[in-house]
Structure 1
Amino acid sequence: MVDADQTFVIVGGGLAGAKAAETLRAEGFSGRVILICDERDHPYERPPLSKGFLLGKEERDSVFVHEPAWYARHDVELHLGQTVDRIDRTAKTVRFGDDGTLVRYDRLLLVTGAEPRRLDIPGTGLAGVHHLRRLAHAERLRGVLQHLGRDNGHLVIAGAGWIGLEVAAAAREYGAEVTVIEPEPTPLHGVLGPELGNVFAQLHREHGVRFHFGARLTEIVGQDGMVLAVRTDDGEEHPAHDVLAAIGAAPRVALAEAAGLEIADRAHGGGILVDERLRTSDPDIFAAGDVASFPLGPSGTRLRVEHWANALNGGPAAARAMLGQDVTYDRVPYFFTDQYDLGMEYSGWAPPGTYDEVVIRGDAGKREFIAFWVREGRVLAGMNVNVWDVTEPIQNLIRSRARVNVDALSDPHVPLAGLVP
């Protein structure tokens, strides 16, 4: 039976919000749990949208975090298709944007996520311009890729990040022609740097993807409302029937900002500033998932992570903190991708400029290896490509902050576990 003396409100119906609600009940919270989602679909996981579901290998129902009946069975008040347009921190209420309904909270969790960045160029209103963030986007894009594959159509992708590359792989599997336009010199440059970015460039080239590096889209050309081509700032023109904007995502902080919560600066990815307990500048308001900027261990660095594992783990951590438990959210950032026959897991964080060298263990040419980003003998990040069951020792190396022997690190015959003091 629900005890109405306490009400915990969760704004945001993605994986982080759903797992937070689940954790509150699992930890014995008997008060009201209200989960507000601005989509009409039940909370779902996003990785399949650019992987299995987009490829037609996973059914629609497989993406949902819980079966629909789970919410009522666990006394979670789920509001689908509803927005919150105001937080009153003094009265401790949130207001529904549709009808002005006020809901009082004792603790509030903001898991409002992120939204795709938009191309600010002529032609973005044409029918063939797409984004990929929501289930509805993926459903539409899957149909587009099927059509392009049947008709030998051409997809232009703006951005060679994870979403751009995963969609490129899916489009090629459907048989579509693909051109990826990217201002950096390699794919995934801001995450992997040039050394490993080239591995992904070669992978996609082998599967027929064309890259145009060092350029940005300046115009999408159309006729009768349909896409015909794109133009870039170096004067090139590329044929296109459809365009995917995959130029990153921006944290949805407007609600928090209007409420006067502290926001991280752009150097830390923006987002709602939280402490190691995922608590915002208001002690009764917490944030997790894509929208939160959290401290990354003892280094003092802040990070906003837009990946599945952060939502999966951050939502439950915030829920426990809301219950007053002693929580320290210090998980090593983790994400994964599947492209063609390449499977990869990445742990840590080492953008260009933060490391001295990249150490390779295994055969990069065969795409069966582990890469380590190292600074002053310490492992900052590790990526295993088609090598499995090594995430735990890689993360232990990162957490230890210990100096390691680089020769041993690169030697596949030396157990990784033995490198951790």
Structure 2
Amino acid sequence: MSRIVVVGAGQAGASLVAKLRSKGFDGDITLIGAEPVPPYQRPPLSKAYLLGEMAQERLYLRPPSFYADQNITLKLGQPVAAIDPAAKTVTVGDEVIAYDQLALTTGSEPRRLPDVMGGQLANVFTVRHLTDVDAFEPLVTDGAHVLVVGGGYIGLEAAAVAAKKGLRVTLIEMADRILQRVAAPETSDYFRNLHSGHGVNIREKTGLAGLIESDGIATGAELSDGSCLDVDFVLVGVGITPHSTLAEAAGITLENGIRVDELGRTSDPSIWAAGDCASFPYRGDRIRLESVQNAIDQAEAVAENMLGANKPYDAKPWFWSDQFDVKLQIAGLNTGYTHVVRRPGEKDGAQSIWYYCADELRAVDAMNDPRAYMVGKRLIEAGKSPDQALIADPSTDLKSLLRG
């Protein structure tokens, strides 16, 4: 009987094993996770879960009984120590588990502050795991002052929830503007105004020089502009890195994560990878996508290819972010854009930013504008690039562009 082992019990791992069973695979499946809880959703951690609107059990991607019902062996709280590609085994504690095919869905890890800057202090947190949020939730009290380090989507989402909980929030971003790496200045302006309107103190071109310590906790922060802040705790949102140490130790080729081909296979023909940890071919380039959508779609494609489908993964990137009363929906990738077109939405405060490279539409940021998102996504996936004057004209019926 064939044996498949999946290392990494997050969104990608859970999707992969479910797909294997739904496609009729009746061999042994073992899903191994370092965390002690079943696979769960990460996006609600810093939003609904922290706000107290979602219980832990509702975070679970599947009820715990699903894995037993599907005859999937679930090993939780047991990180894999090593992979032996020659012997086709993984080591978990004192146990050695054999595989015929192995899938790595190890995800990513948040970047942390270095210890020299105070990253080891007890009240300095990242926002990635259930244990992270459980650890700082008791500090989320009305009037407390939180310093958020990083003006990307992770930092901005954390800042929004903290402000909604009644905290005083200071967010620092060492780049010239928030969202500089991932969005146009127009989108940055929109979210800067949104946060400022809710009392978040955003300080751009400002880095963290170091934290002031007292008895193992951060009581203050020294900033790069020479100013100092008193703080009750610190949230660090400065990006994530692919979790590829196991693959590297096993001799698997890396390239901004675990390098896979169009099917999801690594440099070892018996080992596959999917999700945040995997870099894959995309339109003549190589990318790594950090999104729930990609984790699900790529993992399901890999599951089918492990069973012989031989079907290249066709990524259709989309993302979302919830901040205060704004839902941002992003279609496509704005890499290489040369200019943007701004389109006002139908409702107050709604708008969309359309990214073009010369005449080619590459991506859309839609703020409280689901129609613009839906149309933009369909246009991008169809390879259509509408005239930019039509996009800018609020009288244009966006749906009509789908027929052009």
Q: Tell me the TM-score normalised to structure 2 length.
A: 0.95
Q: State the Cα distance separating 1:415 from its structure 2 match.
A: 3.6
Whole-Å Cα distance in 1 between the matches of residues 375 and 350 of structure 2?
17
Residue of 291, 305, 309 corresponding to 2:289: 305
Residue 227 of structure 2 aligns with an amino acid whose one-letter code is E
Residue of 312, 315, 319 corresponding to 2:299: 315
Residue 355 of structure 2 aligns with an amino acid whose one-letter code is W
Residue of 210, 224, 233 corresponding to 1:233: 224
Equivalent residue runs for 1:338-349 within 5 Å = 338-349=322-333
Answering whether residue 182 of structure 2 is matched by residue 191 of structure 1, we say yes
Q: State the Cα distance separating 1:389 from its structure 2 match.
A: 4.6
How many pairs are equivalent? 402
Whole-Å Cα distance in 1 between the matches of residues 398 and 346 of structure 2?
18
Answering whether residue 365 of structure 2 is matched by residue 383 of structure 1, we say yes
Whole-Å Cα distance in 1 between the matches of residues 186 and 180 of structure 2?
9
Match of 1:360 in 2: 342
Match of 1:40 in 2: 36
Residue of 229, 246, 252 corresponding to 1:261: 252
Q: State the Cα distance separating 1:233 from its structure 2 match.
A: 2.2
Residue of 103, 107, 112 corresponding to 2:106: 112
Whole-Å Cα distance in 1 between the matches of residues 15 and 240 of structure 2?
22
Whole-Å Cα distance in 2 between the matches of residues 18 and 11 of structure 1?
10
Q: Which stretch of structure 1 is more off in the superposition, 156-165 or 86-95? A: 86-95
Whole-Å Cα distance in 1 between the matches of residues 354 and 146 of structure 2?
34
Whole-Å Cα distance in 1 between the matches of residues 236 and 173 of structure 2?
11
Whole-Å Cα distance in 2 between the matches of residues 416 and 363 of structure 1?
11
Residue 369 of structure 1 aligns with an amino acid whose one-letter code is Q
What whole-Å deviation, never above 9, does each CA across 1:30-68 have from its counterpart, x for those lacking one?
A: 000100001101110101011211111111111101101
Whole-Å Cα distance in 2 between the matches of residues 403 and 240 of structure 1?
48
Q: State the Cα distance separating 1:124 from its structure 2 match.
A: 2.2
The answer on whether the counterparts of 1:378 and 1:398 sit within 8 Å (CA) in structure 2 is: no
The answer on whether the counterparts of 1:52 and 1:58 sit within 8 Å (CA) in structure 2 is: yes
Residue 219 of structure 2 aligns with an amino acid whose one-letter code is L
Match of 1:86 in 2: 82
Whole-Å Cα distance in 1 between the matches of residues 398 and 249 of structure 2?
48
Answering whether residue 57 of structure 2 is matched by residue 61 of structure 1, we say yes
SS of 1:310's equivalent in the other structure is: helix
Answering whether residue 129 of structure 2 is matched by residue 134 of structure 1, we say yes
Residue 156 of structure 1 aligns with an amino acid whose one-letter code is L
Whole-Å Cα distance in 2 between the matches of residues 128 and 83 of structure 1?
25
Residue of 56, 77, 80 corresponding to 2:73: 77
Residue of 359, 374, 386 corresponding to 2:356: 374
Whole-Å Cα distance in 2 between the matches of residues 72 and 40 of structure 1?
16
Gap runs ≥5 in structure 1: 265-269
Residue 87 of structure 2 aligns with an amino acid whose one-letter code is A
Whole-Å Cα distance in 1 between the matches of residues 250 and 326 of structure 2?
44
Match of 2:278 in 1: 292
What whole-Å deviation, never above 9, does each CA across 1:219-258 have from its counterpart, x for those lacking one?
A: 1102122321101222121221101111111111111111
Whole-Å Cα distance in 1 between the matches of residues 215 and 388 of structure 2?
59
Whole-Å Cα distance in 1 between the matches of residues 372 and 250 of structure 2?
43
Residue 213 of structure 2 aligns with an amino acid whose one-letter code is G
Q: State the Cα distance separating 1:327 from its structure 2 match.
A: 2.1
What whole-Å deviation, never above 9, does each CA across 1:179-200 have from its counterpart, x for those lacking one?
A: 0111112211111032211111
RMSD: 1.7
Q: State the Cα distance separating 1:403 from its structure 2 match.
A: 3.9
What whole-Å deviation, never above 9, does each CA across 1:75-100 have from its counterpart, x for those lacking one?
A: 0000001111221212211111x21x
Q: State the Cα distance separating 1:332 from its structure 2 match.
A: 2.0
Gap runs ≥5 in structure 2: none
Residue 281 of structure 1 aligns with an amino acid whose one-letter code is S
Whole-Å Cα distance in 2 between the matches of residues 313 and 51 of structure 1?
24
Match of 1:220 in 2: 211
Q: State the Cα distance separating 1:401 from its structure 2 match.
A: 3.4
Whole-Å Cα distance in 2 between the matches of residues 363 and 388 of structure 1?
9
Whole-Å Cα distance in 1 between the matches of residues 333 and 215 of structure 2?
45
The answer on whether the counterparts of 1:10 and 1:36 sit within 8 Å (CA) in structure 2 is: yes
Residue 76 of structure 1 aligns with an amino acid whose one-letter code is I
Q: State the Cα distance separating 1:392 from its structure 2 match.
A: 4.0
Identity among equivalent pairs (%)? 37
Q: Tell me the TM-score normalised to structure 1 length.
A: 0.92
Match of 1:277 in 2: 263
Q: State the Cα distance separating 1:206 from its structure 2 match.
A: 0.4
Match of 1:394 in 2: 376
Residue 112 of structure 1 aligns with an amino acid whose one-letter code is T
The answer on whether the counterparts of 1:257 and 1:263 sit within 8 Å (CA) in structure 2 is: yes
Residue 396 of structure 2 aligns with an amino acid whose one-letter code is V
Answering whether residue 118 of structure 2 is matched by residue 123 of structure 1, we say yes
The answer on whether the counterparts of 2:160 and 2:324 sit within 8 Å (CA) in structure 1 is: yes
What whole-Å deviation, never above 9, does each CA across 1:355-391 have from its counterpart, x for those lacking one?
A: 1211112159943122111011111111111112554
The answer on whether the counterparts of 2:187 and 2:365 sit within 8 Å (CA) in structure 1 is: no
